[in-house]
Structures are given as structure tokens and as C-alpha cells.
Amino acid sequence: MATDDRVAVACRSVVRVYGRATEETQALKGIDAEIHRGQLTVVTGPSGSGKSSLLSLVAARDEPSAGWVEVLGVDVGGASPRQLRSLRRTRVSWVPQRASAALFPHLTVLDHLSQAASWRSARVDPRELVARLGLTGCGDRRPAAHSGGEQQRVAVAMAAVGRPEVLVADEPTAELDAEHAEAVLMLLADVAARGGAVVVSSHDPRVVRHADRVLHLRHGVLAEERGSGGSVTFIDSSGRVQLPPEALEAFPDQRAVVRIDDDGVHLTRPDDPS
């Protein structure tokens, strides 16, 4: 599907629905997006806007209810369990919102990093990473002995070991103070600088400052994209545009007349004679 080799992950018309027919939640309502190698992409949006749902798909940890997600050339919805297992271990790393879910109760910090290195056939000195993330002195401890912030840093370190091609981290700085958040962001930016496609969700302005690209979600729809070329509003593959709230206020009946001329496409209220 993706022909551009900068594209590590491609999402086309992605819908994710949770629950049964009687009480279903449409968490993602037709997302079209591409995640590029060598970039730190930050997914922002209010709580409940679909960030975690989108990130689980990008990390090949979930399947879309409709549409396609292609991660490093693998169609996540159509892949065999074996293909997915191999993708997740060797090429795509994942830091869930609840970092403890990525950790093994019986392994120490150093064991976790050695394990991740062996999955990705990498030779690394785990002590260097431990020092970089301010975890020196925690190396021999198991997850239960760590604070939430320490667990978060261990999970990030584990995800960064051995240059994964795609690294996805769901709110990785949520429980960190400024200094530790900065160390985590520098590490993630390094993974991107070495060619990795890094995707992070966050509300945190400190994280957004490090972004090469920002994707903003609103109510399960990609509303806006900001990159080096400035800010643009998203039009999905069926032609839907999500207006920013201040523009939406101009259409209290949620109806618009569309007029196309040489200057562009204009939206006006049905009762507006201009």
C-alpha cells in the first residue's frame, strides 16, 4: 500500500469501534495518516479523543474494525499471529499508557534491557541507558519496587534499546518531572534522528516542542496536522473536514453551502446571501 519508503506506518480510513451493538464507542472514525521514518510525531488531543486507540494500532498491538493499518509493510488486520509476534519483538516497540503492563514482575531493570536487546539482536551496554534516564541505583530492582515514574522510564529504555524501526509511546512523560521528561524526550528524539519512526501521544507542551510533526485528534477524527510547513486542516479520504471549534460556531445548524471558485472552496451558512 505505502509506496513512499519514508513511510513507516500508513493508516487508511481507519475505524476502531469498542463494545457491542447496544453500547458501542466509535473511538476512531476514519483516520488517514502516515508516520514517517526519521521523525518524532506527536499525537495530541483531549482525553477520550482516540490517542491511545490510534497508538495501539500504529504499534501493531490492535487491529482496526474497518480500514487498513500497514506497519513496515505488514497489513496488521490481515497478518498471521506469527508475523505480528515477530514484528512486535524485533521491529516495533511499544510503551503502553500504563507502563507496568510492558514490564515483567520477575525481571530487574538490567534484565529488562538485556531482554529487549536480545529480541532486537542488539549489543548494548544497558548501564549507559540506565544512567542516561536517571535510573542508576535501580538496576537490580524489580518493577514492584519502582515508582510509576521509574516504571515509565524503564519501559521507555526497553523500547529504545537496539534501534527499533518504529517506537510508539503512549503519554511517556505523564508521570515524570521536568528533568526526567527531558531525558526521555532526548532519548526518543535520538531514536528518530537515527532513522526510527517515533510516535508519542501527549498533552504536554514540553513534548510538543520536540515534535517534527503534530497530529491533533478531536472526537476520533484527525483535525489538524502541523509540521515544518505550518498548520493544515485534515481532509479524509471521503472528503470530510473537521472544522476548528471557532469555525464550527459559525454554523449552528451544522449545515453549509459549498461554493467553489478560482479563489478556493468557500463554506457559508445556508441563510447567508453572500
Which burial class, exposed, middle or buried, applies to 23 when counting CB atoms under 10 A from its CB (0-12, 13-18, 19+)?
Answer: exposed
**Separation of alpha carbons 33 and 86, rounded Å:** 24
50 touches ligand ADP by CB under 6 A:
yes
Quickly list DSSP for 85-100: HHHHHHTEEEE-SSGG
**Span from 42-50, 114-122, 123-131, 247-255 in contact with ligand ADP (CB under 6 A):** 42-50
152 touches Mg ion by CB under 5 A:
no
Query: Of the two residues 50 and 149, which places its CB atom closer to ligand ADP in the complex?
Result: 50
Query: Of the two residues 54 and 191, which places its CB atom closer to ligand ADP in the complex?
Result: 54
**Separation of alpha carbons 172 and 181, rounded Å:** 8
78 touches ligand ADP by CB under 6 A:
no
Q: Facing residues of 133 across strands? A: none
151 touches Mg ion by CB under 5 A:
no
- Selection from Mg ion, ligand ADP, none that 149 binds (CB < 5 to 8 A by kind) is none
27 touches ligand ADP by CB under 6 A:
yes
Query: Mapping DSSP to helix (H, G, I), strand (E, B) and coil, where does residue 271 land?
Result: coil
**Separation of alpha carbons 126 and 120, rounded Å:** 14
52 touches ligand ADP by CB under 6 A:
yes
Cell output for 52: 491511545
Q: Residues with Cβ < 8 Å from 43, sequence gap 6 or more?
A: 51, 54, 55, 199, 200, 201, 202, 214, 215, 216, 217
18 touches ligand ADP by CB under 6 A:
yes
Query: Of the two residues 18 and 104, which places its CB atom closer to ligand ADP in the complex?
Result: 18
52 touches Mg ion by CB under 5 A:
yes
- Selection from Mg ion, ligand ADP, none that 48 binds (CB < 5 to 8 A by kind) is ligand ADP
Residues near ligand ADP, by CB under 6 A: 18-19, 25, 27, 45, 47-53
Residues near Mg ion, by CB under 5 A: 51-52
